[in-house]
């Protein structure tokens, strides 16, 4: 089962875990991304996430399908927030349930790494002296 969610609501890691619960799972991994308080020593005030929602959902679905196929995952849940977040809040949650633990770790890592490369979501960092779209420039 695949669960994809792009939402302006606050992300609840437990709800993503509940979505992948399965009695035949031997292990479940969960990645929780959180807003860090600094970037290269500069204090971060808040982050703002923007998404091209229909394509973001489609690209996340592709990642989840690849995870199911390549690691034989039982269930995959990927949640991403859009809107403004403060330090410590959660922009992304990924949960993967598999029969054996090794696959769960690898699959979850693949899912977050690929999300960062392909899913059309953008974040802007707000500092005390200005704001910047992350990774936009070399």
Partner 1 sequence: MNLTLIAYGIAKDILKGSESTFSIKGQPTIGDIKAKLIADHPAFAELQSLKFAVNQDYQSDDFKVSENDEIVIIPPVSGG
* Footprint on this chain of partner 1 (rule: CB under 8 A): 33, 49-52, 54-56, 58, 80, 91-92, 112, 115-124, 133-138
By beta-carbon proximity to partner 1, the closer residue of 25 and 111 is 111
Query: Are 85 and 33 contacting, i.e. CB atoms less than 8 angstroms apart?
Result: no
We find the least distance from the C-beta atom of residue 68 to partner 1, in angstroms, to be 20
| Angle formed by the axes of helices 53-71 and 101-118, nearest 10° | 150
By beta-carbon proximity to partner 1, the closer residue of 26 and 50 is 50
From residue 10, how far is each of 51, 114, 129 by CA, in Å? 16, 23, 27
We find the least distance from the C-beta atom of residue 91 to partner 1, in angstroms, to be 7
We find the least distance from the C-beta atom of residue 40 to partner 1, in angstroms, to be 15
Task: Name the maximum alpha-carbon separation found in the chain.
Answer: 52
**99 is written with which tokens?**
């029969």
């Amino acid at each position: 089962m695949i669960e994809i969610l792009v939402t302006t609501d606050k992300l609840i890691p437990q709800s993503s875990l509940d979505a992948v619960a399965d009695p035949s799972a031997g292990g479940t991994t969960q990645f929780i991304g959180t807003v860090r308080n600094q970037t290269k020593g500069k204090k971060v005030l808040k982050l703002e996430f923007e998404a091209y929602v229909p394509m973001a959902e489609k690209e996340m679905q592709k990642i989840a399908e690849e995870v199911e196929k390549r690691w034989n995952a039982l269930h995959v849940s990927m949640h991403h927030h859009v809107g403004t977040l403060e330090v410590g809040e959660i922009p992304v949650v990924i949960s993967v349930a598999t029969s054996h633990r090794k696959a769960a770790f690898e699959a979850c890592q693949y899912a977050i790494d690929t999300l960062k490369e392909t899913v059309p979501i953008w974040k802007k960092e707000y500092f005390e002296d200005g704001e910047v779209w992350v990774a936009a420039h070399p």
